Amino acid sequence: MAQQTLLILDFGGQYKELIARRVRECNVYSRIEPGEIPAEKVREIAPVGIILTGGPNSVYREDSPHIDREILKLGIPVLGICYGAQLMAYTLGGTVEPCSVSEYGKTRMTVDPESPLFDELEPEQIGLMSHTDRITVLPAGFTSVASTADCPNAAMQDPRRGLFAVQFHPEVESTPNGTQILYNFLFRVCGAAGDYNLHDLEKRLIEQVRAQVGDAHVLLALSGGVDSSVCAALLSHALPGRLHCIFVDHGLMRKNEGDEVEAAFSGRDLDFIRVNAEDRFLEKLAGVTDPETKRKIIGAEFVRVFEEESAKLPDVRFLAQGTIYPDVIESGGSHAATIKSHHNVGGLPKNMRFSGVVEPLRNLFKDEVRALGRQLGLSRAYVERQPFPGPGLAVRVMGEITREKLEILRDADAIFREEVGRLRVRPDQYFAVLTDTRSVGVVGDFRTYDYTVALRAVRTSDFMTCEYAPLSHTLLGRVSARIVNEVKGAGRVVYDITGKPPATIEWQ
């Protein structure tokens, strides 16, 4: 039986990827398409249900994105969220107007437990609001099933047509029962079967890779990180004897990491090739300080190395990469602003000699990648390694890249990871950054003028948003003392307490 799909129509909402992830957590496969998709295409996809995302626009403006009205007549259940709710109301003849009082943040709501959306929930709920417009007149056939002090139509429904809408965001953690509300829509309204699981995903991804590649050989950009490692494990199952993994040691790895990667993969049933290219990369990066330029240079040089090495291999026509969904989202899309380009998304030259790029993990979230890796036989310790950016320490060294600065960062980062690694409950990601700021210090009777090291530790469930981890002052003090005493060139240590948003997890 074909796997059911929940279709998510994107109207520029910042949380669209979280909607997709929450739906998958409910064991229903989710797929994101542009909000302007025609009804005929939706009919071809035949989703079990549709969710309309939020967005930054006002539906009554002519230049705002709109939906094909016929989609709401297909008989497929639809849930509108925030802008999606207003869009549903506006399209069906309701009225949307600016709020007299805008709502932002956690907001108390009264909901109707008789509504399928709020089944098994108490009448008093908390929902994350983020809107300056509101539905003032409901379309014909709809009733209001939730309200706040300033929003009388915080949710509406027309069960006869399977149309539901909420002004708040059920997909975020700040709405405590949001996942239950999405679950209710999926199973009580859409009648979903819950047939999405990693076992089927593994088989489907293998089939897709084989269909794309045929009998050709594939060259994998193996960084040794979680994403590329899981990609290697998957491709080795899909293409036995035809996978060539090139590990480019660009001199931008963490301490001892090059040797660790080689040890982990050299004994596996694949062609592992290590290329020591530190001099080559550092020469290209000399004098470069802009982070986007660094990423472009590293991405381009990676491909050049792969091309040179693949020329020595039989019938290599495809380049494989461990691109995952957050990489794609942050690199921008039809409605999203580019936050930063990823070397395996936005930095590849257009004149590659490969026939195509194989990215089997492109639509997966980090937690799905880790779970898939465990299913494919990778150890839990390996797949739960700290995330590491493709450009490596080049984007954790602020300003120009030099060997001296890289060595300072490697040693400081190793100390921080060692100390935090001893904790019983650890942050989801933690690492050191070498700033381009130098400050005066005193060591013995001598004046020093050394670099400032910044420490970063965050808690996150999806790597799309995060909060800083409140590490103890005792731990931070111990790490600071070790770094300034053991790492030559490091004279000061600071701790980053910024969340995402407004910051990103990485500094660059």
Residues classed as catalytic? 82, 169, 171
DSSP H helices in 421-500: 473-486
* Angle (CA) 337 340 345, round 5°: 95
Length of the chain: 508
Q: How far is CA 227 from the centre of its chain?
A: 12
Amino acid identity of residue 398, one-letter, is M
Distance of CA 400 to CAs 282, 308, 341, 455, 500, Å?
Answer: 10, 27, 19, 19, 25
Closest CA to 348 of 393, 398, 290, 307: 307
Which amino acid would we find at residue 17? Answer: E
- Which residues, at least 6 apart from 24, have a Cβ–Cβ distance to it below 8 Å? 30, 196, 365, 368
Identity at 361, one-letter amino acid code: L
User: Is the Cβ–Cβ distance between 370 and 384 less than 8 Å?
Assistant: yes
* Residue from 197, 213, 178, 200 nearest 359 by CA: 213
Q: Is 381 exposed, middle or buried (0-12, 13-18, 19+ CB in 10 A)?
A: exposed
Residues facing residue 402 across a β-bridge = none
| Cis check: omega of the bond before 502, within 30 degrees of 0 | yes
Which of 421, 413, 412 is closest to 450 using CA atoms?
412
DSSP for 265-316 reads HTTSSSEEEEEE-HHHHHHHHTT---HHHHHHHHHHHHHHHHHHHHTTSTTE
Tell me which residue has tokens 């990066």: 285
State the DSSP string of 189-216. IS-------HHHHHHHHHHHHHHHHTT-
Do 309 and 273 contact (CB within 8 A), yes or no?
A: yes
Helix (H) or strand (E) holding 255: none
Peptide bond into 501 cis (omega under 30): yes
List all residues 6 or more positions away from 377 whose beta carbon is below 8 Å from its beta carbon.
Answer: 233
Distance (Å, whole) CA 505 – CA 330: 12
Angle between helices 473-486 and 403-420 (to 10 degrees): 150
